[in-house]
Amino acid sequence: MSINNLLHFEAIITQNISASWLLDSQSRLSLLRLDLLHPVVSGNKWFKLQFYLADAVQNNAKTIATFGGAYSNHIVATAFACQQWGLPCVGYIRGAPQYLSHTLKDAMSYGMQLQFLSRSDYRRKNELMPEHPEYYWIPEGGYGITGAEGAATILSHATALSSYTHIVAATGTGTMLAGLIRGACAHQHVTGISIMKGNNELPQLVSELLSGEEKATFHIEQDYHFGGYAKHPPQLIDYINTCWHQYQLPLDIVYTGKAFFATEQMIRQHTIPAGSNVLFIHSGGLQGNLSLPAGTIPFS
Ligand SMILES: *Cc1c(COP(=O)(O)O)cnc(C)c1O
């Protein structure tokens, strides 16, 4: 069975936002809704994985292996993609299995075999790889040039791509951002919103995934992490609720909620100059909201 029959590429739309703060700055803002690709494997993760899996199949790999935490969108996306490709897969998970998160339950339901590593073993996870030369290893978060090449295909789903002056996206490992820079036009500026606190190596990590041919410029914003990775203070939850009511826009607590907040602030404060036409990448991740107590947000 081909995975393309189950992912809804035709459902990816470009959504225009109407808001007074956009009128005030004479800017326009649209979202590329990658979250509509699939309810669980929504967003950028499938794009980052696609060429790794194609490479694995081409090299006759029998088993895929990768790493992640208990709430990792990458883990569940890898599990799903491997099931559709008919490839067995192993997920090495950071921490002890005291209870299974929604993410890990979903990953298991797609057939991923879970192996738990203590935090100290997880830090030494690269030593595992030579022990299993029979596995096709995908780096944590899909970080790598193969992942960036996959992410570069994201922009082919945007309508009127060249009309945008700015592209903004949430940034974790930097793989998607590198892909967006690879795929962007020469006149475009790409902004990554780091969702981690003080990840100062990020610009370097992104640069390492570029070919050197890119014409678009980029930078990383470090001030919108809301306290750090996966931290979700009430202010962020309120903002996500407001966006749902005002724009029917579902955002997640780890990535897109923070990045969309940042985008609004940058437009209001003219860090993104007045008169710009901004494309925000809704990179998915909504399954992460399942870790919230029921009723915290009105969708999911
Ligand atoms: C993983 C993820 C990101 C970050 O992608 P990177 O390539 O690791 O920078 C952004 N948004 C969502 C929803 C994600 O799941």
Summarised one tens digit per residue, pLDDT across range 229-245 is 999 999 999 999 999 99
- The packing angle between helices 234-247 and 256-268, to 10°, is 80
Q: Which ligand 1 atom sits nearest the alpha carbon of residue 252?
A: 13
Residue 2 has a pLDDT of 47
Q: Is the pTM of this model over 0.75?
A: yes
Ligand 1 center to 24 CA (angstroms)? 30
- Residues with Cβ within 8 Å of 43's Cβ and at least 6 positions away in sequence, in order, are 34, 35, 37, 73, 282, 283, 284, 285
Give distance in angstroms: CA of 169 to centre of ligand 1. Answer: 9
Domain residues of the chain, as ranges? Answer: 3-40+146-291, 45-143
Q: At 300, is the pLDDT very low, low, confident or very high (cuts 50, 70, 90)?
A: low
- Which residue has a Cα nearest atom 14 of ligand 1? 285
Whether the Cβ atoms of residue 192 and residue 218 lie closer than 8 Å to each other: yes
Q: CATH class for domain 45-143?
A: alpha beta
Could you give the residue numbers annotated as active site? Answer: 72
CA of 167 relative to ligand 1 center, distance in Å: 15
Contact 17, 25 (CB under 8 A): no
C-alpha span between 109 and 95 (Å, rounded): 20
- Two domains, one topology: 3-40+146-291 and 45-143: yes
pLDDT at 95 over 60: yes
3-40+146-291 is classed CATH 3.40.50.300: no
For residue 42 and ligand 1, the question of a CB distance below 6 A is answered with: no
